[in-house]
Amino acid sequence: MTTWGIFVAMMLLVMGLVLLILGIFAAYFGSGKVRTFGGVLAVLGIIVGFLTYLLRVPLGIQVTSVIYNGLLYLVSAIVGAVIALLIFLAVLLKS
C-alpha cells in the first residue's frame, strides 16, 4: 500500500460519507431550494463513495483496510484528546 493511495482513499471516503450525511440532513430539515440542494449533495456523496470503490485497484489499496485503519486512527485521536482535556481540566481546577 502506498501512502499517497491511502491518503486519497481516506479523503474520498470521508468526503463521500460527509456529503451523504449532510445531504440527507439538508433534504430532511430544509425547505425549497435547500431541500433540492440536500438531495444533490446526497447523490454526490453516493457517487464519490462509488468512485472510491472503483479507484481502489489503481490506487493499490484495499478499501476495507483503509476503513479499519481510519477508524482506528480516529478512535485513538479522540481518546488522546479526551485524556489531554482531562489533564488540562485537572490542572485548571487544582489551581
In a domain, 26, yes or no: yes
Domain total in the chain: 1
**Residue 22 belongs to some domain of the structure:** yes
37 lies in some domain? yes
Q: What percentage of the chain has pLDDT greater than the value 90? A: 36
Q: CA 90 to CA 92: how far, in whole Å?
A: 5
Determine the residue type at 39. Answer: G
Is the residue at 28 inside a domain?
Answer: yes
Residues 8-48 pLDDT 10s? 888 888 898 899 999 999 999 988 899 999 999 999 999 99
Strand spans (E) along 1-95: none
Q: What is the pLDDT of residue 46?
A: 95
Mean of pLDDT values over 54-79 = 84
* pLDDT classification of 1: cutoffs 50, 70, 90: low
**Is 74 domain-assigned?**
no
Residues 6+ apart with CB under 8 A from 56: 9, 62, 63
- Which residue from 23, 24, 12, 19 is spatially nearest to 70, judged by alpha carbons? 12
**Full domain range(s) for residue 63:** 3-69
Query: Whole-prediction pTM value?
Result: 0.72
